[in-house]
Amino acid sequence: MDQEIRNLLRKQKYKIVGEHSAVKLCHWLKKSLMEDRVCYKQKFYGIKSHRCLQMTPSVTSCTHKCLFCWRPTQYTFSRIENPDPPEFIVEKSIEAQKELLSGYWGVLDRVNKEKLKEALTPNNVAISLAGEPTMYPFLSDLIDEYKKRNFTTFLVTNGTNPEVLEEISLPWNLYVTIPAPNKEVYKKLCIPQISDGWERIMETLELFPSLNTRKVTRLTLVKGYNLKNPEEYAKLIEKASPDYVEAKAYMFVGFSRLRLSIENMPSFSEIMSFAQELETMTNYKIKDSSEDSRVVLLVKE
């Protein structure tokens, strides 16, 4: 990885692992330690926010340059050169998490000490931090390495590599992002770096029902771009037939602030209204929500 990119990511509190991976403490891990507040993933799926390791094996590699992405998309590469072995990435990512947590020992009067001790041995990995993880050629082995250490595994993909999803060792929770209701909106919002990105996402949605794990489709909703056409989203959701649907607001954070404005971040009430529309058009019903994260969970009836 180029030194300029390393320096930029370090300023953003990323801990670089090897040549193409990274770890960053999740906002909700910090909230859990300091305020006993938890992430919507704990509320919806039962994982512990303070024991979640947020990482990526592909911090600068992606098939998109999404306007809503929180990474510096000017550094986007089409492949991972000289990939690090999965065992190395797993060990070093756990070490990186411990290093990032070390500063909390200096503010023990403000931290939940029991949670901090537990946080040093994470037991859930969110392979989702930045970039597109399916571009890492040993992703299946990476997932298995975390499983060997008794981790539950979350994988978040943009769906542009369906052939990888067809072959890999499946995670405990598999997310695919549906970033737009149609191809026209997709091209404006996601700035695809491949010519057939939309078609590949459609392949993934068609494949999704056959994958034997818990499946989630996430709608990342950006006001002024893709917070519209619920009837088209409904058709895509029915095609994928996931166990869960998350309607989630774009959050005005990271480098996305250079591309979008705070007006593009929907309110919780706007997300709830959109989810209610989806509810009338699909066989999914609203089950839960998190106002802090501006997300609504729908579950198949």
Please report, in tens digits, the pLDDT of each residue of the chain (301 residues total).
Answer: 778 888 888 888 899 999 999 999 988 999 999 998 999 999 999 999 999 999 999 999 999 999 999 888 888 888 998 999 999 999 999 999 999 999 888 888 888 999 999 999 999 999 988 899 999 999 999 999 999 999 999 999 999 999 999 999 999 999 999 999 999 999 999 999 999 999 999 999 999 999 999 999 999 999 999 999 999 999 999 999 999 999 999 999 888 899 999 999 999 999 999 999 999 999 999 999 999 999 999 999 8
Query: How is residue 176 written in tokens?
Result: 């695919």
pLDDT at 78: 86
pLDDT at 182: 98
pLDDT at 41: 92
Q: What is the dihedral of CA 213, 251, 298, 30, to 10 degrees?
A: 60
pLDDT at 73: 83
pLDDT at 71: 83
Query: How is residue 116 written in tokens?
Result: 């901090």
pLDDT at 76: 86
Cα–Cα distance measured from residue 245 to residue 102, given in angstroms and rounded to the nearest whole number: 36
Domains annotated for the chain, with CATH where assigned, are 3-300 (3.20.20.70)
Q: How many CB atoms lie within 10 A of CB 260?
A: 18
Q: What is the dihedral of CA 277, 220, 252, 264, to 10 degrees?
A: -50
